[in-house]
Structure 1
């Protein structure tokens, strides 16, 4: 009878995915010695080396290690399915839940939702991942995540979107900008000004499409993939930017005051919601998270970021 645990297999897969003990430790919030010991025990149990250390590249699986890793992933997936069965039989949500979130608003939404959900369902353990839109699609299809909080941007037909709130686009400006005191601003007024573009897959196309109706092209002066960097660039006068989620503070990370001015309609608003694979709601834990998210909308938890509940 093999003498290893699911926890050891989880450590093994984390090392295989991240390519190192330290990075696996950060992902799992487990000490590096614990992970090293688990790998050593598995190698002793299987009587084969699972990883080799490559200079400047961390740990790489051996040929046998790759086969063991593939099987370990299947075993862990089947174990999760058994937990889903038990949850359905017992009528309670329990077990792990892998939640992805669009990187542009993850820091504003997911930690609070996660804390509330885990308090309501103490038998569920959430593993969160921040991704761009294209990465979310791939992670769902590979079953790396169970569901994701994101926008309705270019949703593929094989995935299912559950809308929660509507978010109008707004211009992010330095508080000292001439347009900062306006009630709203038109895309044609923004087009000649220097723009700090939040440059992420799929999201970029949406921001640029807001200028299509006025047949203008924005003057992109800066590009960044980081929301915090974008806010600091705007606060220091390098240009305006566009976003859909309002931060809880009107200060940039380096202390500069910002203004958020709605972009005049007609422009396309985005819907924020939950994205899943078809049939994911068969899992009681996934259903519980969807229900919790809808309750959060009804309670006004999304009001602070500018969310208008979908009817």
Structure 2
């Protein structure tokens, strides 16, 4: 009996299930809402099952049958993607979909540069980029929603593999007028009495706060933000200092004010920037090609898009 549904319709089904809204699914997939509504209606007719409960104020909720069909559709889509990858491996080609996640703090700087070179070298790859925090990257890798993720070596689960790319020591961001701005280096003891703008992301915040805990100190946290650009602007406008491992090539905050970057001495180990994969993911030629590309690009000790480290701290 011929199939009366398509992989695209199954993709719509899974995305609506994830979003809980046809409009949000349409925006994520860059298609029209009527196209998705029509696909869902056709699937319900084909399967003879109600897949969603429509609630005007709360969007769509999968029925009990819908949950099971969404899980089955996800498996079919993963299998189809696997066939595409398998065909490329058999033919010795780097092609097919590649879903790459990236930690939000450097997704706008590092990954686009690496992506551009990789896509130029492998035009048959359908590259998709996703920005997440560390916990979300782990979850997406476990659910096979991502093939590879760029992040730090922070509390990595034992069932994920990490390929290191670069070591990034912490530094202090300061406004130009800050009393510590002209110092060659500062310690957490120097910082403890000044207000801090904490980059409050999962695991990253604990890493920064551990610098003070190791010295028996508590920072004066004046503000918390999950947005790296917001943190830079708050610092540049004199609301406090912050600590980070990512240093952009520009010393200007988003609003044009200048920042000072001072090495932090006496801190714990640097963060290691690298690539995360689920076990077995590197059997894919496309994943291996992306890892090899990133490794080659960073081989000279300079991360694309980031300021080079001072020689004595490399």
TM-score by length of 2: 0.92
Structure 1 residue aligned with 2:77: 76
CA contact (8 A) 1:173 1:241 kept: yes
Structure 1 residue aligned with 2:182: 181
Structure 1 residue aligned with 2:91: 90
TM-superposed deviation, 1:183 = 2.2
CA contact (8 A) 2:100 2:127 kept: yes
Task: Give distance in 1, aligned partners of 2:289 and 2:120.
Answer: 13
Structure 2 residue aligned with 1:118: 119
CA contact (8 A) 2:93 2:285 kept: yes
CA contact (8 A) 1:246 1:304 kept: no
Mapping of 1:93-242 within 5 angstroms? Answer: 93-242=94-243
Gaps of 5+ in 2: none
TM-superposed deviation, 1:241 = 0.5
SS of 2:109's partner is helix
Structure 2 residue aligned with 1:21: 22
* Number of residues of Structure 1 aligned to a counterpart in Structure 2: 310
CA contact (8 A) 2:199 2:242 kept: yes
Deviates more, 1:29-38 or 1:62-71: 29-38
Task: Give distance in 1, aligned partners of 2:305 and 2:137.
Answer: 25
Deviates more, 1:87-96 or 1:246-255: 246-255
Task: Give distance in 2, aligned partners of 1:274 and 1:88.
Answer: 21
Structure 1 residue aligned with 2:258: 257
SS of 2:212's partner is coil
TM-superposed deviation, 1:266 = 4.8
TM-superposed deviation, 1:248 = 3.3
Task: Give distance in 1, aligned partners of 2:6 and 2:213.
Answer: 56
Deviates more, 1:248-257 or 1:169-178: 248-257
Task: Give distance in 2, aligned partners of 1:28 and 1:116.
Answer: 25
TM-superposed deviation, 1:299 = 5.9
Deviations 1:68-88 (A, max 9, x none): 111100101111111121111
SS of 1:223's partner is strand
Task: Give distance in 2, aligned partners of 1:8 and 1:279.
Answer: 29
Classify 1:233/1:27 alpha carbon distance in 2 versus 1 (closer, same or farther; 3 Å).
same
CA contact (8 A) 1:2 1:45 kept: no
CA contact (8 A) 1:171 1:260 kept: yes
TM-superposed deviation, 1:225 = 1.2
CA contact (8 A) 1:197 1:223 kept: yes
Mapping of 1:50-65 within 5 angstroms? Answer: 50-65=51-66
Task: Give distance in 1, aligned partners of 2:48 and 2:12.
Answer: 18
* RMSD across aligned positions (CA): 2.0
SS of 2:37's partner is helix
Deviations 1:170-214 (A, max 9, x none): 111112212222222112111111001011111111001122443
SS of 2:274's partner is strand
Task: Give distance in 1, aligned partners of 2:257 and 2:54.
Answer: 46
TM-superposed deviation, 1:238 = 1.1
SS of 1:166's partner is strand
Structure 1 residue aligned with 2:35: 34
CA contact (8 A) 2:114 2:304 kept: no
Task: Give distance in 2, aligned partners of 1:249 and 1:174.
Answer: 14
CA contact (8 A) 1:166 1:307 kept: no
Deviations 1:148-185 (A, max 9, x none): 10001111221111000110101111122122222221
Task: Give distance in 2, aligned partners of 1:39 and 1:182.
Answer: 62
Task: Give distance in 1, aligned partners of 2:29 and 2:185.
Answer: 45
